[in-house]
């Protein structure tokens, strides 16, 4: 049997602890399936004395992950620290420069420095694996990087943040407000004390940027993503969507258009009977549309210690099975030097149109004026419904519009015109509608 693969583990949080535990529990099986033992020989973590339920006494401890990457007796750096800068950046950079393989679950780091790291890894002839960085235990990176070779991907989209999906699911199923669901998510550990990164869509955007590069062979462009979070989704929106036959999900969407690549993250209405609409709680789902395979949907755990550790372990196993000098799969699917410059497309017309909710003062002519604003901007309406607002019916009413396919620009102009008429009681709500081809 070949010599052991020596792992330097940076970070012993939820994922790092799960990984260390699995490596020890499955040591014999992994040695057989990988053709060599896998051993943690170096560790860097904040608290060396904490009892985590497994033995790392034989591993060398380092005060910083950078020191471990620079001097540790290791073959692979496993970076599970998080963050786009600081120790994560420095340790990965040092490991690659030294010619070590790297495994990371850090989507923020890859969204910021992924192309640079890919170039360095390819120059050094080492592997940079990151399956756990997107959608937890779902093997979407391997699918795009290897399994779909030869396919031309036209669109990739999905539910990529368990926190947001949990909140939206609870709002719908239990009739709770956004604020109440967020507090529950924090209590259960699904949301951070400061949940902004998740609920405003940044986490999904980082994941989408990585998938976009893998799908379309372009430079990573995380700063070019149209971004909306879920903090403005109300229980009224949830109920209205249900009445119309839809459920609201936070989707990340990237698609190839004639004018470039479109990337967007926003709340979306999807038909209640579609498969992706049934993805509830902290579960993730990623759909890929391509010319040869057609439509592929992958669903599974998107977060959590075991799910993420499973993806990290798969990356380590790939390294253990690889042999020096063999041809490597490019880090980002396409050799880093051959990635195309990112060309941003304007957000195009949407097959499913838009949902618009307006809370208006109860004045004569309001209904007609709304319809006129739509017509003046070339927007065809599928339906228009007016509702009284319960006890406040004498003062305000709700108008719900569902449009046919139209452009973002037309919707924004129409809404701006409506806001200028001074009969709105609150800010308009605009949610895109997507009708997946096969899901």
Catalytic residue ranges: 207
Tokens of 62: 């380092």
What Rg value do the Cα atoms of the chain yield, rounded? 24
Query: Which residues fall within 8 angstroms of residue 192, CB to CB, at 6 or more apart?
Result: 186, 198
Tokens of 16: 């790092």
Under a CB-based contact definition with an 8 Å cutoff, are residues 378 and 415 in contact?
A: no
Spatial distance between the Cα atoms of 351 and 289, rounded to a whole number of angstroms? 15
Can you say how many angstroms the Cα of residue 19 is from the centroid of all Cα atoms in its chain? 22
Spatial distance between the Cα atoms of 217 and 7, rounded to a whole number of angstroms? 31
Spatial distance between the Cα atoms of 369 and 421, rounded to a whole number of angstroms? 9
């Amino acid at each position: 049997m070949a010599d052991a693969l020596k792992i330097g583990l940076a970070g012993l949080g939820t994922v790092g602890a799960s990984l260390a535990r699995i490596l020890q529990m499955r040591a014999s099986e992994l040695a057989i399936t990988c053709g060599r033992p896998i051993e943690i020989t170096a560790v860097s973590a904040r608290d060396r004395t904490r009892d985590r339920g497994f033995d790392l006494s034989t591993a060398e401890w380092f005060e910083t992950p950078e020191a471990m990457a620079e001097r540790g007796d290791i073959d692979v750096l496993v970076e599970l620290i998080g963050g786009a800068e600081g120790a994560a950046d420095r340790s990965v950079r040092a490991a690659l420069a030294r010619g070590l393989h790297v495994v990371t679950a850090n989507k923020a780091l890859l969204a910021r420095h992924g192309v640079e790291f890919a170039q360095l890894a390819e120059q050094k002839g080492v592997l940079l694996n990151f399956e756990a960085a997107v959608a937890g235990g779902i093997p979407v990176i391997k699918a795009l990087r290897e399994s779909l070779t030869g396919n031309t991907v036209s669109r990739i989209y999905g539910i990529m943040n368990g926190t947001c999906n949990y909140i939206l699911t609870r709002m719908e199923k239990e009739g709770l407000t956004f604020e109440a669901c967020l507090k529950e998510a924090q209590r259960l550990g699904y949301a951070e004390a400061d949940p902004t990164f998740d609920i405003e869509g940044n986490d999904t955007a980082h994941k989408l940027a990585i998938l976009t590069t893998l799908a379309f062979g372009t430079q990573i462009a995380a700063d070019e993503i149209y971004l909306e979070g879920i903090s403005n989704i109300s229980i009224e929106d949830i109920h209205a969507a249900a009445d119309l036959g839809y459920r609201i999900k936070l989707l990340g969407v990237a698609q190839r258009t004639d004018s470039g690549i479109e990337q967007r993250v926003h709340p979306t209405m999807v038909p209640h009977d579609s498969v992706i609409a049934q993805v509830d709680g902290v579960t993730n789902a990623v759909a890929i549309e391509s010319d040869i395979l057609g439509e592929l949907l992958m669903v599974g755990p998107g977060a959590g210690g075991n799910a993420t550790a499973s993806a990290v372990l798969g990356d380590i196993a790939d390294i253990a099975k690889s042999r020096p000098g063999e041809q490597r799969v490019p880090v980002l699917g396409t050799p880093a030097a051959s990635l195309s410059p990112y060309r941003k497309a304007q957000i195009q017309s949407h097959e499913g149109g838009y949902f618009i909710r307006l809370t208006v003062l109860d004045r004569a002519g309001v209904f007609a004026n709304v319809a006129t604003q739509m017509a003046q901007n070339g927007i065809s309406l599928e339906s228009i419904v007016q509702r009284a607002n319960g006890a406040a019916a004498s003062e305000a009413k709700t108008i719900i519009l569902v449009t046919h396919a139209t452009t973002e620009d037309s919707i924004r102009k129409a809404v701006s015109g409506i806001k200028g008429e001074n009969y709105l009681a609150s800010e308009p709500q605009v949610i895109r509608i997507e009708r997946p081809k096969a899901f």
